[in-house]
Amino acid sequence: MLKIDDYAAFCRVATPFYYYDIDLFTRTADLVAGLSERTGIQVHYSLKANSDHRLNDILSARGIGADCVSGDEIEFAVGCGYDPKKIFFAGVGKTDKEICQAFQVGIGAFVVESLEEIEIVGDIARRLGRKAPVSLRINPNIDPHTHHYITTGLYEDKFGISDRSFDEAVAMVLGNPYIDVFGLQFHIGSQIMEVADVVKLECEKVNDIVARFEAAGMEVKNIDLGGGLGVDYDEPDDNPLPDFEVWFKTIADNLKRRPDQTVHVEPGRSLVAQSGSLITEVLYVKKGENRRFLMVDAGMNDLIRPALYGAYHKIENVTAFYEDGPKRENRVYDVVGPVCESADCFGKERVLAKSRRGDRIAIRSAGAYGQVMASHYNMRPLAPSVYSDRLAEAPRKKDYFIGE
Ligand SMILES: Cc1ncc(COP(=O)(O)O)c(C=O)c1O
């Protein structure tokens, strides 16, 4: 069950909102920063997963860098205190404006995804009288055994440069006086659960590819293995901290690196998912012909992952647990939102404590790719961030019937 230290204050907050457990988040950040220091593997948080300012301040204060995919993410990262030299800029469709923004900030590396982009980044560097630090994103053609929507390292994916173009890429970067070779970057997909096996395979493939580039005359000073570490969506309380130790150890044991080479990783989901929950209130318990619906006040505009990927999130009745303990029996519900789409469903046939209007429901493990993907669809307002240690500052639930 979701941990709530001050339940009374929690109940005064207007729903829906994203609830961030700051204690868990800080422990996660400390764990990763500690592992980074011990292993020398540099961490760049992939801030597309969650761009909450406070969470990013906590990460940057621990010396963690940032992996960005837009000009505005780069500027936001700087505002959160990330060292510009530890900011990488990836993405298959960088605009001229964004490339210029990145030069202005003085980022650590452009992660370049195609031969066409090498030419453009080099050309903009020439016009600005600068040198572009360039990492080549490689498509290693590895299946990470995850959802096809979040697989990124196969030939059929739009990301990265495949082995058929390696020689041309080397010739282009070495032949351009406005490009400084930074290294190679890999990212094979997200929500990888078979970490030891998949990352070992990734490292073996990376070892071969690095050797191939160096044999072609391109010195690989930096090896970036991307993100992808998965989290336990089924039982977030059993595994609140993802398997960072196994991830770092598998890399340390399997990646061949010389002392003059630096290794980088770009975790997104694993740093933030378990610390965030979407909190919503039951509006109606509707008895359909064949199903019982729990209509809640959060919708797919607040959390689109179930509709977009069929993603599973654990759903809990917080009120029943904190107010009635084990007294309420269980019922089976489809938990649905108010948006005018049949896909606006957080979970079908979920077993929950018997629920009533006004009960608070937690949709767990929603800290990654949740709030950042929210929209105003149906002209609905955005759910704000609420922090476990600052509940008193959160927007208050209104009483619309005062004086009634
Ligand atoms: C290049 C790159 N790095 C890192 C990440 C973060 O991945 P994850 O959130 O799975 O750790 C992504 C996700 O799409 C990515 O494309």
CB-ligand 1 contact for 146 (6 Å cutoff): no
Whole-number pLDDT of residue 383: 98
CB of residue 49 inside a 6 A radius of ligand 1: yes
Q: Which residue puts its alpha carbon closest to atom 12 of ligand 1? A: 227
Give the range with max mean pLDDT: 140-144, 273-277, 324-328.
Answer: 273-277
Q: Are 22 and 52 in contact (CB under 8 A)?
A: no
Q: Ligand 1 center to residue 257 CA distance, Å? A: 22
Q: Radius of gyration of the chain from Cα atoms?
A: 23
Q: Which pLDDT tens digit goes with each residue over 194-242?
A: 999 999 999 999 999 999 999 999 999 999 999 999 999 999 999 999 9
**Band (163; pLDDT cuts 50, 70, 90):** confident
Q: Is 108 in the pocket of ligand 1 (CB under 6 A)?
A: no
User: SS3 for 346?
Assistant: strand
How many Cα atoms within 13 Å fall on the side-chain side of residue 272? Answer: 29
Is residue 243 within 8 A of residue 204, CB to CB? The reply is: no
Distance 65 CA to ligand 1 centre (A): 14
Q: Answer yes or no: are the C-beta atoms of 276 and 18 closer than 8 Å.
A: yes
Q: Sorting pLDDT into bands at 50, 70 and 90, what band is 138?
A: very high
Is 7-16+274-393 a CATH 2.40.37.10 domain? yes
> Which of 187, 191, 271, 373, when mutated, tests ligand 1's pocket best, judged by the most ligand atoms within 8 Å of its CB?
187
Query: What mean pLDDT comes out for the span 29-44?
Result: 98
Res 142: pLDDT: 74
Per-residue pLDDT at 156: 58
**Taking residues 24-32, what's their average pLDDT?**
98
Contact criterion met (CB below 8 Å) for 313 and 305: yes
DSSP state of 82: -
Per-residue model confidence (pLDDT) at position 293? 97
* Ligand 1 centroid distance, CA of 139 (Å): 14
pLDDT at 169: 96
Give yes or no for residue 46 CB within 6 A of ligand 1: yes
Residue ranges of the domains in the chain? Answer: 7-16+274-393, 22-267
What was the pLDDT predicted at 38?
97
Quote the CA–CA distance of 339 and 172 in Å, as a whole number.
50
CA distances from 46 to 73, 88, 223, 245, 402 (A): 10, 9, 16, 19, 46
Q: Whose CA is nearest to atom 4 of ligand 1?
A: 227
CA angle 195, 302, 75 (to 5 degrees): 70
Q: How far is the CA of 385 from the centre of ligand 1 (A)?
A: 22
Cβ of 268 closer than 6 Å to ligand 1, yes or no, is yes
Average pLDDT over residues 240-248: 97
Atom from ligand 1 closest to the CA of residue 230: 10
Q: Is the pLDDT of residue 151 over 60?
A: no
Q: Is 192 in the pocket of ligand 1 (CB under 6 A)?
A: no
Please state the pTM of the whole predicted model.
0.95
Residue 189 CA: nearest ligand 1 atom is 10
- Beta strands at 360-363 and 109-112: parallel, antiparallel or unpaired: unpaired
Cβ of 187 below 6 Å from ligand 1: yes
261: Cα separation from own chain's centroid: 26
Residue 121: which pLDDT band, with cuts at 50, 70 and 90?
very high
For 105, what's the count of Cα atoms within 13 Å in the CB-facing half-sphere?
30
Model confidence at 148, pLDDT cuts 50, 70, 90, reads low
What pLDDT shows up at residue 145? 64
Topology (CATH level 3) of domain 22-267:
TIM Barrel (3.20.20)
State if residue 67 touches ligand 1 by the CB under 6 angstroms criterion: yes
Amino acid occupying residue 91? G
> How far is ligand 1, taken at its centre, from the CA of residue 46, in Å?
6
Confirm or reject: Cβ of 176 under 6 Å from ligand 1: no
